[in-house]
Amino acid sequence: MSETIFSGKLPVLALRGLAVFPDQTIHFEVGRKKSVLALEEALKTEQNLLLIPQRDMTVDDPGLEDLYPIGTVAKVKQVLRAQGDVIRVLVTGICRARIQEMTHTEPYLEGLVVSVPETEVTDNLRARALRREANTIYAGYLEMSEHPAQAIQLRMLTSESCGFLADCIGQNSGIDFPDKVSLLTQLNPVRRLEMAVRFLRQEVEMLRLESEIQDKTRSNIDRQQKDYYLREQLKVIHEELGDDEETEFDAYESRIRRLKLDAASEEKVLKDLERLKKQPYGSSEAAVLRNYLDTLLDLPWNVRTKERLDVEAARKILEKDHYGLEKVKQRILETIAVRQMAPQMPPQILCLVGPPGVGKTSIAYSIARSLNRKMARISLGGVHDEADIRGHRKTYIGAMPGRILAAITQAGSSNPLLLLDEVDKMGADYRGDPSAALLEVLDAEQNKTYRDHYLEIPFDLSDVMFITTANTLDTVPRPLLDRMEVIELGSYTDEEKLMIAKNHLIPKQTVKHGLKKSQLRISEDAIREIITCYTRESGVRKLERCFAEICRKADMELLSDETVKRVSVTGANLERYLGQRKYLPDRLPSSDQIGLVTGLAWTSVGGEVLEVEVNVMEGTGKLELTGNLGDVMKESAHAALSYIRANAKTLGIAEDFYRTKDIHVHFPEGAVPKDGPSAGVTVCTAMVSALTGTTVRRDVAMTGEISIRGRVLPIGGLKEKTMAALRHGITTVIIPKENEKDLEEIDQTVRKALNFVTARTVDTVLDTALNRGTADMVPTLLNSLPEDVKGKSRKPDIRQ
């Protein structure tokens, strides 16, 4: 260690974004009041002061804690007064030093300063190599930065001090301020030079990248200017020669005029073309305008397909493509008949509603084929942004037209059929409500002048036929639903699924998997087994996947064993291809139970059987509801309990049961959420059964909302519910009287297999479901009575 070369009180000047190194001369500006006073104090004595960097440049009045630990004692060489209160100072560094103690901070900083000696190191071969590397890199840096520093470079070349070279690099290069502070605080000369070389190498690489970027930018600007001058010269040459060759702008103008737009729209588009002509070639504005004109001209303004309005041809196509769905097909044919009789009428907007997999999308494709219209599909599931429908204004980067015009461009016709799929799954957020944007699209009175935000001129949508699909209407806004005619597609019966599998699914999958008709045979009993034991759905998607799995296994079997020429799948060997059965056939309980009632529920994938269990225990009148129930279903249970309390004497129940008994109502399959009012009569029957100890007929299922006065109110989804009852082995179904008209919609197979009891009040439900002596014989007896006698009977109303 070398001896201390300085110790004493000195004025302290805090530096912002600047570090001064020993044996280096530098000039800087002083403007802060404390800094000016410290400088003036130094000039009164030996002209020495401590220059020390401060950590945070934003601190205007730094203290000792705001300063780095090491600074430089420097001698003031020159002071110049600049404009205002700014003083320009020239200083030369003397040695590194630190503040041992701050003597005072007002009116300027002053402290007891002690110099910090450098670590002594030996001059070895590694140090000499490091000095040579530093000189080489610094020479390259000066060449790239075009910084005139020959005198400094000469001093570095003649120096044999690693510390001096490091300080020269730190003071006379553009390395970052934190890196300069690191060099200032490093006391080992060799390590300091290693750090300086590393920082300088990074700076040289940065300069090289900046130079490349500048060269590329300059090259692009030169090329754009060259293109501009050449195009201007080419234009002048064409004018001088009288050449009539069509330019890009002439082509745009002729195409715009051929569109035969209305006067206002044509004027607006030509105005945009004039703006494009004035833009420099390759500018961002020119790219936006050129993209806008290309998009506008790609729209099929005057392109139409000739519509085929033939009811019989449409009937053949629908019958070929779809089995069943007779009412749906009839409604579609009626729509086509109206178009055939009155072609001038705008197309009706249809909304196909039904569970997944029942053929909503495929029916739309069949309608397009039968009408000879081109078709485009727009998936609206998960759309949250209104701009997806209306488009973005072309001033935004990456702007594009909305999905409606994009689909029309894709179809290539101004009268296509647009399928708006999953219209019930749109959302809304801070970017707008896309369902509100669809109101104009689906309104025949407004869509003649539909304006997309990107296009900015009206486009006629009155000839477009819109068909929407949805799984449920609950989430479709009322104003949007009011613009559409709803066609409901119900669940398929097992017989319909059997015919669809035979005529459509199996032939499709065999061809898809490269099988010939003679190579795979699936028996009818195997198909029925797949329908009942491997799928439980309203549509046929899972059923089709089962056939695809069988075809894959058949491919493997035919390729693995050359002796096998044909694969036969029957009910006996079905598990070999599809594995264990996923759903066992529903079986009724072996005997009638107390407090166990079978209800019927509707879900988005079809009907389900819903069992309700009730236990009655000694207690204080608590009602416990379990099974993951929604608020509406809980309210139905309370309504049922109110009815029972009001009619306890009539029902043969102790009138104080609500004070002495606890009732627990449970819906099995607790992981599945359940809600809705249609289980009201089921809960009421189960409570009465448990409170009276009367068994419930196991072959009876029921559905209906209950009021606190005992009325049975109508419900929805009757078709799906009755199909679920048939699958479960139910023979009698109790429904609200007001749903009697809906029996016409139920499949004939289901109607023949089930007895239907219509009920206005809960009394009818209880008389039918509970085993009260001969009450369980009522449905059978009434079925044998003449119609006039049935009407006079006060017993439950029975319908086949």
d(CA 150, CA 152): 5
DSSP conformational letter for 120: P
756: which 2 tokens?
């239907």
- Residues 488, 352: Cα–Cα separation, whole Å: 6
Strands 87-104 and 71-81: antiparallel
Residue 427, both tokens: 């959302």
Instruction: Assess contact for 413 and 371: CB atoms under 8 A.
Output: no
Helices and strands, number each (H, E), in the chain: 30, 27
C-alpha 192/C-alpha 169 separation (Å) is 10
Q: Is 75 a catalytic residue?
A: no
Q: Which of 722, 742, 709, 693 is nearest to 598 (CA)?
A: 722
User: Which residue, 449, 477, 476, 472, is CA-closest to 461?
Assistant: 449
Amino acid at 597: V
How far apart CA 730 and CA 697 sit, in angstroms, is 10
Catalytic residue among 678, 689, 719, 737: 678
Both tokens of 609, joined, read: 């059987």
CB 382 within 8 A of CB 427: yes
721 is catalytic: yes
Of 638, 655, 635, nearest to 646 by C-alpha is: 655
Interacting residues of 241 by C-beta distance below 8 A, sequence separation 6+? none
Q: Which of 144, 160, 266 is nearest to 206 (CA)?
A: 144
Yes or no: say if 703 and 721 are a contact pair by the CB < 8 Å rule. yes
Q: How far apart are CA 12 and CA 357, in angstroms?
A: 83
Distance of alpha carbon 613 from alpha carbon 151, whole angstroms: 100
Active-site residue, selected from the candidate residues 180, 374, 497, 721: 721
- DSSP strand pairing (7-15 vs 755-759): unpaired
Spatial contact of 597 and 702, defined as CB atoms under 8 Å apart = yes
CB 725 within 8 A of CB 700: no
DSSP string, 275-327: HHHHSPTT-HHHHHHHHHHHHHHHS-SS--PPP---HHHHHHHHHHH-SS-HH
Residues labelled as active-site residues: 678, 721
